[in-house]
């Protein structure tokens, strides 16, 4: 007999875990979470530095790739996505950034009342326990622990902050406080040396309740409708096709790639596209899969005159010492993210707000595919890298189903660097990195720039190198955009899908525009706010 629940949540990722917790909290509703991936109780998921292991591990990762990108000299971009309990929050780099206050005021001004900065701030406070304590901006009683580990960061990070100061960029002690602008140290989602995924913060506590259930290795293939009312979902588990009924709502939280895919597979999308794959259209929503936005990043690499993390993580004895320190005390390098310092800067003084995110890492490593070189195997000499990317790119891409098979990957066209302004911002950012390297604080320790190196000098050469090497920092979003007009948007301000009843999308895909910074925190905020709407 078909099982029945009040709420069926598709995907146990950053958003799905929050919803499972909040919707089951009052004990009155039966909540089911269906997750395509398996357990997150794995050493390399719990251990922060395990990021490098999960990056290509198909046991926990969807391992998507984009189509070849014309403005990246026809390169395809590799897009890891968590396929595991906790979703991408179980495999991400743990940097915690809320975004710029203006991002949310822009969401509101795009026709989404209730989503301005003052509206979302209470949810950002509600979701976190900040290690630095609560104040007007920070929360101290929420499920997600946000750690401040700057005292453990490599000394070169402090030198980076000094160098930025020499160029006139102010130190900001808290990017998630009153203002985002400036340079400083990243806060990370870890606690007691272990990753603080959305699963650890929200789902695992909720699963102790008798009214909250999780089915792992259950890939949803279709949302089921009675006329235009979502009534349940169909999924595949252990090779069997099963279905469950949702008496109140189906909530789609499968992430920015799989949420639009599932809508299209279920007949919600551009009717011509759906018919071309033999899918009977239910609702004409051409915005599904459109408006794709992502952050692109470009790095400069340096050989250093002073020791960096390469010296500690490259030799076998260094790895062993770090491993022992971690196993005994849950401290040290294995408990940290490699992204330790950085900032939010204007790439040019004329820019009206910080438009560039910078990452400074006291390590150099490659993202070479498996077999060539392990991801976090550093170079055999002291080195560090510094990188930039526009926080609010104007390029827009799209993704769509490639066939009617629900188990096949979608076609992804990010359309990176397709606007002149995005190229200009990258170029200004690259120039800024070079200026930073010439400051007294950094030039004193730089032996040489190893990549792209001194042969790349002119604007044209730098742009060509950007096209050859810039790549994603894994923040695809906005593919089921929230907005007032069903001709472009997919959900309304309550995250309800236009044209159908009892179906919401709640995850990174509903962002109207990408936020300035890393997207995990904003996704959790969206889910916290949506949970209140659903319960209301
Ligand atoms: C390598 C990497 C590094 C990152 N680094 C950072 C960082 O440092 N800081 C930061 O803030 N953000 C970072 N991000 C981004 C951030 O983690 C994501 O934006 C966020 O986790 C997305 O949340 P979501 O709920 O939209 O989707 P996800 O967390 O991806 O969750 C979607 C879930 O749905 C499941 N699912 C999908 N399809 C189906 C289906 N058909 N049936 C059942 N289940 C399904 C998936 O398996 C997954 O568990 C990173 C991401 C990656 C991949």
Q: What is the DSSP string of 258-275?
A: HHHHHHHHTTEE-HHHHH
- pLDDT, tens digit (0-9, with 9 covering 90-100), for 459-468: 999 999 999 9
What is the CA(13)–ligand 1 centre distance, in A?
Answer: 6
**Atom in ligand 1 nearest the alpha carbon of residue 55:** 1
- DSSP E strands, 391-489: 398-400, 411-413, 446-451, 471-472
- Delimiting residues of CATH 3.30.410.40 domain(s) in the chain: 150-186+296-390+418-469
- What Cα–Cα distance (Å) separates residue 122 from each residue in 127, 525, 526, 528, 529? 9, 9, 11, 10, 9
* Stretch (H or E) spanning 155: helix 155-166
pLDDT of residue 134: 97
What is the CA(81)–ligand 1 centre distance, in A?
Answer: 5
For residues 492 and 264, give the distance between their C-alpha atoms in angstroms, rounded to a whole number: 18
- Give buried/exposed letters for 133-168 (b at 16+ CB in 10 A, else e): eeeebbbeebbbbbbbbbeebbebbebbbebbeeee
pLDDT of residue 368: 65
Helix (H, G, I), strand (E, B) or coil at 194: strand
Is 83 a pocket residue for ligand 1 (Cβ < 6 Å)?
A: yes
475 is catalytic: yes
Asked if 71 and 416 touch (Cβ cutoff 8 Å), the reply is: yes
Model-level pTM? 0.98
The DSSP call for residue 458 is: S
Q: Classify residue 426 by burial, with Cβ atoms within 10 Å: 0-12, 13-18, 19+.
A: buried
Is 474 a pocket residue for ligand 1 (Cβ < 6 Å)?
A: yes
- Delimiting residues of CATH 3.50.50.60 domain(s) in the chain: 1-143+195-289+476-536
Pocket test for ligand 1, best of 84, 128, 255 (most atoms within 8 A of CB): 255
Nearest CA to ligand 1 atom 49: 87
Q: Which of 300, 299, 306 is nearest to 441 (CA)?
A: 306
Nearest CA to ligand 1 atom 47: 83
What is the CA(476)–ligand 1 centre distance, in A?
Answer: 9
For residues 317 and 522, give the distance between their C-alpha atoms in angstroms, rounded to a whole number: 39
pLDDT of residue 423: 98
User: What is the C-alpha radius of gyration for the chain, rounded to an integer number of angstroms?
Assistant: 22
Give the domain 150-186+296-390+418-469 fold. Answer: Cholesterol Oxidase; domain 2 (3.30.410)
Is 475 a pocket residue for ligand 1 (Cβ < 6 Å)?
A: yes
Query: Which CATH number, 3.40.50.620, 3.50.50.60, 3.40.50.1860, 1.10.10.10, labels domain 1-143+195-289+476-536?
Result: 3.50.50.60
For residues 215 and 36, give the distance between their C-alpha atoms in angstroms, rounded to a whole number: 9
pLDDT of residue 367: 67
Is 82 a pocket residue for ligand 1 (Cβ < 6 Å)?
A: yes
pLDDT of residue 372: 61
For residues 338 and 451, give the distance between their C-alpha atoms in angstroms, rounded to a whole number: 19
Pocket test for ligand 1, best of 17, 55, 58, 87 (most atoms within 8 A of CB): 87
**Atom in ligand 1 nearest the alpha carbon of residue 406:** 41
Tokens representing 254? 């499968």
Asked if 78 and 372 touch (Cβ cutoff 8 Å), the reply is: no
Is 260 a pocket residue for ligand 1 (Cβ < 6 Å)?
A: no
What is the CA(240)–ligand 1 centre distance, in A?
Answer: 25
Asked if 263 and 250 touch (Cβ cutoff 8 Å), the reply is: no
- What Cα–Cα distance (Å) separates residue 123 from each residue in 18, 118, 180? 12, 10, 18
Nearest CA to ligand 1 atom 4: 92
What is the CA(64)–ligand 1 centre distance, in A?
Answer: 12
pLDDT of residue 314: 86
Helix (H, G, I), strand (E, B) or coil at 130: strand
Is 80 a pocket residue for ligand 1 (Cβ < 6 Å)?
A: yes
pLDDT in tens for each of the 536 residues of the chain?
789 999 999 999 999 999 999 999 999 999 999 999 999 999 999 999 888 889 999 999 999 999 999 999 999 999 999 999 999 999 999 999 999 999 999 999 999 999 999 999 999 999 999 999 999 999 999 999 999 998 889 999 999 999 999 999 999 999 999 999 999 999 999 999 999 999 999 999 999 999 999 999 999 999 999 999 999 999 999 999 999 999 999 999 999 999 999 999 999 999 999 999 999 999 999 999 999 999 999 999 999 999 999 998 888 888 889 888 889 888 888 888 888 999 999 999 999 999 999 999 999 987 666 666 566 678 999 999 999 999 999 999 999 999 999 999 999 999 999 999 999 999 999 999 999 999 999 999 999 999 999 999 999 999 999 999 999 999 999 999 999 999 999 999 999 999 999 999 999 999 999 999 999 999 999 999 999 999 99
The DSSP call for residue 292 is: B
Q: What angle do CA 74, 80, 81 make, to 5 degrees?
A: 135
Nearest CA to ligand 1 atom 46: 83
Selecting among 29, 101, 204, 475, the annotated active-site residue is 475
Tokens representing 528? 């916290």
Is 266 a pocket residue for ligand 1 (Cβ < 6 Å)?
A: no
Distance, C-alpha 204 to centroid of its chain: 21
User: Which residues are registered as beta bridge partners of 300?
Assistant: 386
Is 35 a pocket residue for ligand 1 (Cβ < 6 Å)?
A: yes
pLDDT of residue 336: 86
Q: Which of 19, 526, 49 is nearest to 331 (CA)?
A: 49
User: 136 — phi, psi (to 5°)?
Assistant: -60, -25
For residues 476 and 14, give the distance between their C-alpha atoms in angstroms, rounded to a whole number: 14
Spell out the alpha helix ranges (H) of 309-419. 309-313, 316-329
For residues 174 and 181, give the distance between their C-alpha atoms in angstroms, rounded to a whole number: 9
Is 520 a pocket residue for ligand 1 (Cβ < 6 Å)?
A: yes
Q: Which of 363, 381, 341, 392 is nearest to 517 (CA)?
A: 392
**Atom in ligand 1 nearest the alpha carbon of residue 80:** 53
Is 95 a pocket residue for ligand 1 (Cβ < 6 Å)?
A: yes
């Amino acid at each position: 007999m078909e099982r029945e629940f009040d709420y069926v949540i598709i995907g146990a990722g950053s958003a799905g875990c929050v919803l499972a917790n909040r919707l089951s909290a009052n004990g009155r509703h039966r909540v089911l979470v269906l997750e395509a991936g398996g357990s997150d109780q794995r050493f390399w998921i719990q251990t922060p530095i395990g990021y490098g292991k999960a990056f290509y591990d198909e046991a926990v990762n969807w391992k998507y790739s984009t189509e070849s990108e014309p403005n990246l000299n026809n390169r395809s971009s590799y897009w890891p996505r968590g396929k595991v309990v906790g979703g991408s929050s179980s495999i991400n780099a743990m940097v915690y950034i809320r975004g710029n206050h203006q991002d949310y005021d822009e969401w509101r001004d795009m026709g989404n009342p209730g989503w301005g900065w003052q509206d979302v701030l209470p949810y950002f406070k509600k979701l976190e326990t900040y290690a630095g304590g609560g104040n007007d901006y920070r929360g101290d009683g929420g499920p997600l622990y946000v750690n401040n580990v700057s005292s453990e960061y490599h000394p070169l990070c402090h030198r980076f902050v000094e160098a930025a100061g020499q160029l006139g960029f102010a130190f900001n002690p808290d990017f998630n406080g009153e203002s985002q602008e400036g340079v400083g140290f990243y806060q990370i989602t870890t606690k007691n040396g272990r990753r603080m995924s959305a699963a650890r913060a929200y789902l695992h506590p909720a699963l102790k309740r008798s009214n909250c259930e999780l089915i792992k290795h259950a890939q949803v293939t279709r949302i089921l409708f009675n006329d235009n009312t979502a009534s349940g979902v169909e999924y595949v588990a252990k090779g069997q096709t099963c279905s469950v009924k949702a008496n109140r709502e189906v909530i789609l939280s499968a992430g920015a790639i799989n949420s639009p895919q599932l809508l299209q597979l279920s007949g919600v999308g551009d009717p011509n596209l759906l018919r071309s794959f033999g899918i009977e259209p239910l609702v004409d929503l051409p915005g599904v899969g459109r408006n794709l936005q992502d952050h692109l990043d470009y790095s400069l690499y340096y050989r250093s005159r002073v020791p960096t993390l390469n010296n500690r993580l490259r030799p076998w004895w260094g790895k062993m010492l770090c491993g022992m320190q971690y196993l005994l005390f849950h401290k040290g390098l294995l408990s940290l993210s490699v992204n330790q310092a950085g900032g939010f800067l204007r790439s040019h003084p004329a820019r009206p707000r910080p438009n560039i995110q910078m990452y400074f890492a006291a390590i150099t490593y490659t993202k070479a595919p498996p077999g060539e070189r392990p991801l976090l195997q550093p170079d055999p000499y002291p080195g560090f890298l510094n990188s930039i990317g526009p926080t609010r790119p104007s390029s827009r891409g799209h993704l769509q189903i490639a066939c009617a098979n629900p188990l096949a990957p979608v076609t992804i066209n990010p359309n990176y660097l397709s606007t002149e302004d995005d190229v200009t911002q990258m170029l200004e950012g690259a120039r800024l990195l070079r200026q930073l390297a010439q400051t007294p604080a950094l030039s004193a320790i730089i032996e040489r720039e190893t990549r792209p190196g001194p042969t790349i000098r002119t604007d044209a050469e730098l742009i060509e190198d950007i096209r050859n090497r810039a790549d994603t920092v894994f923040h695809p979003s906005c593919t089921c955009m929230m907005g007032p007009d069903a001709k472009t948007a997919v959900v309304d301000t309550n995250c309800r899908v236009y044209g159908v009843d009892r179906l919401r999308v709640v995850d990174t895909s509903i962002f109207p525009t990408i936020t300035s910074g890393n997207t995990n925190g904003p996704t959790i905020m969206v889910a916290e706010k949506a949970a209140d709407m659903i319960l209301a």
